[in-house]
Amino acid sequence: MMANQNLTTWRSLNLALHDAFSEDPRLLIMGEDITTWGTGGGIYGVTRKLASSFGRSRVRDTPISEEVILAAGVGAAMTGTPTIVEIMYSDFTLLGLDALINQAAKARYMFGGQFKVPLVVRTNGGSGIGKAAQHSQSLETLFAHIPGLEVAVPATPDDAYGLLRSAIASPNPTIFLEHKDLYFDKGPVSGAAIPFGVARIARPGQHVTLVATQRALRWCHEAANELSAQGIEAEIVDPRTLHPLDFEAVRRSIQKTRNLVVVHEAVQDFGWGAEIIARAATECWQHLDNAPARLGAARTPVPYSAALEAAIVPQVHEIVETVQRMRAINIDAELTARN
């Protein structure tokens, strides 16, 4: 690819696929309507022109059967064929969890590492465009909980390209969760692979650490702008991958800011934010001035109504108010110590 292009996320993903297919003649991809849907490349255009460039023996449309698609992908990967599976919405991966959780995730362990499982399950999650309860879930915590699975959650066009190249090169099964509301975001793409387990600092700051992924990063940036106008500088950490997780980046930020808020779009109860909070409480207690806080979605199916859909996820004002409460406690503690 030409370095430093300015691309939308879906074009960045499409470019990553074209580059990977050009470099490895063994690589194949399969999924529903990936050569024919409106854009000519799946529902969001990510596989556009792959079939005409690399042939239908490597770019395969499948029947509508996620259970079969995932099982076939796992089997192909186990025989040594680098395989990408596109599942139209992550909600439908639930139909093929036996192949993913009982087979792909455990194969290298159960067979003593005799073979690799170079499988990438590309799919999308999240809300924001009115796809309702069965097409808008944020299931990243479910996959991150399973030993043997890697989980990538790209937020920018550059991360989409770089993380997908690393996912394809990985010898392990990877759940690659794109966000349906970020496909048309545009930004620079360097064309470099981005290693798993390396977080990025999306915004530097010194007073509070905000940890977020994908669409929740937007809310954190908006909150950070409001807080900055009040003299509070928030540092935003994007983990990029939930497993492997770069907790060291979170730890370094906590040591600087001494305050932590985790924000995610997934349901708050039992979400991945709880893992970050637990590790911060057990490993960084001495560096925290306040109890860490988390904000996640309400425990409810995602509504179809745009107004209700927007209302169940964390609000920017909630992030701002949470940080303000932390800072108020800090100031009270300082005044008490002086008196």
Catalytic residues: 66, 135
Separation between Cα atoms, residue 330 and residue 328, nearest integer Å: 5
101 — phi, psi (to 5°)? -85, -40
Which one, of 44, 50, 51, 61, lies nearest residue 15 by Cα?
50
Cβ-Cβ contacts under 8 Å for 335 (sequence gap 6 or more): none
Is residue 125 within 8 Å of 137, Cβ to Cβ?
yes
DSSP letter string over 130-158? S--TTS----HHHHHTSTT-EEE---SHH
Separation between Cα atoms, residue 12 and residue 28, nearest integer Å: 18
Signed CA dihedral, 85, 183, 21, 54: sign only: positive
Look up tokens 């990877």; give the residue: 174
